[in-house]
Amino acid sequence: MAKFCFVIHPLSFEDVVRYEPGAKGKGKPIIAKILEWMPPWAAAHVTGVRTPDGRETEGWFVAAPLLPAQMLEMPREQVYERILGAIEIGVGLGAEVAGLGAFTGVVGDGGVTIAERAPIPVTTGNSLTIAAGVRSLFRGADEMGIDAARATAVVVGATGSIGGACVELIAPHVAHVVLVARNETRLRKFHESIRDGLPCASSYTTDISTAVQRADLVLTATSSTQDIIEPEDLRTGAVVCEVSLPHDVSRRVAAERPDVLVVEGGNMRVPGEMRWARVREQGEDFDMGLPRGTALACMSETMVLALENRCESYTLGRGIDLAKVREIDALAERAGFSLADMRAFDLPLSREQIARTRAAAEERRAASA
């Protein structure tokens, strides 16, 4: 089987400590300045990814240590140089296909330029992220007793590559889909281009709060670095599936809205006995903030391509091929990948918590009837 590398980076100042324990206790300005010049490095060796039929792959997480805001604000060529440097480290270790994690797959043209310059094929992992996100949304609907066929679904970030594809995959299963994005002109044109082909009612708006207030189901897929959904925005009993990182939903929701189910949509259970061993700190495991045996769907797409010996630039750019979404979903299932247990705000959701959330929603509805 082929080997892979996956480019990662810290999502917040607090997250930097996962990558570099020596950053603990240092001030944010100092951390930001250090990250600006810190070169890429091999952070973790990934082993134990093994399919039920015995195929196995290994790979490396390579850190391109910039924060999301830095990737958006720094000169693009400097960011590209950092990402390509990370991929070259992976190649030196034996990788034959590379995945772009988080903002490394967003910056610029969604991986196209990186793929043109990289020595091995590159994927953003967005195809499997989309498949997993939509599956997670409807799993949440089932848990909350929502009849999806009668529901209103909102997709926030609808003009992005992930959001746009999610609109088309969600639409056949709901009564009404609302598209939300910041750029009204782009949003209107996108809605006009797909409206007639959608099998349900549809509309669009740039007003996130108004859209979310009427939604039974919400999927967020933005490149925002700030909270965009607050507790007061959400309808009783709603399900919110976060596909993108950093989180789009305010952590206040966890404390103030016990009647709303928030789930992370991009997590998958990986077949085998996967381990992420730190490269520089021998004998220690790398902490990605995920349960053992779990990976993000974008990581999982890269692993699936390696397991299939499909060393190709599978998902790139702003447009998504729905046929590829369905294909990688099927390949992942064949390889033994499945949706991970539910999580919200970086913590696991127990069956008891989910039951309490549904009960709180039913109680609140009854009180307002």
The tens digit of pLDDT for each residue in 234-267 reads 999 999 999 876 778 888 998 999 999 999 987 9
pLDDT in tens, 271-288: 999 999 999 888 899 988
Domain residue limits at 10: 4-127+270-337
User: Looking at the structure, do residues 123 and 173 belong to the same domain, yes or no?
Assistant: no
pTM of the predicted model, to two decimals?
Answer: 0.91
* Structure tokens belonging to residue 212: 């979310």
Same domain, 225 and 117: no
* Same domain flag for 286 and 242: no
Residues 221 and 274 reside in one and the same domain: no
74-92 residue pLDDT tens: 999 999 999 999 999 999 9
Does one domain contain both 10 and 67? yes
CA–CA distance, 101 with 97 (Å, rounded to integer): 13
In which band, very low, low, confident or very high, does the pLDDT at 319 lie, cut at 50, 70 and 90?
Answer: confident
Burial bucket for residue 37 (CB in 10 Å: 0-12, 13-18, 19+): exposed
Question: Are 121 and 47 found together in one domain?
Answer: yes
Residues 261 and 139 in one domain: yes
Number of structural domains (the chain) is: 2
Residue pair 337/271 in contact (Cβ under 8 Å)? The answer is: yes
| 203 and 151 housed in the same domain | yes
176 and 137, same structural domain? Answer: yes
CATH of the domain at 231: 3.40.50.720
Same domain, 51 and 77: yes
Do 105 and 60 lie in a common domain? yes
Distance (Å, whole) CA 314 – CA 324: 8
Distance CA 180, CA 367 (A): 31
The label of the residue with tokens 């720094």 reads 74
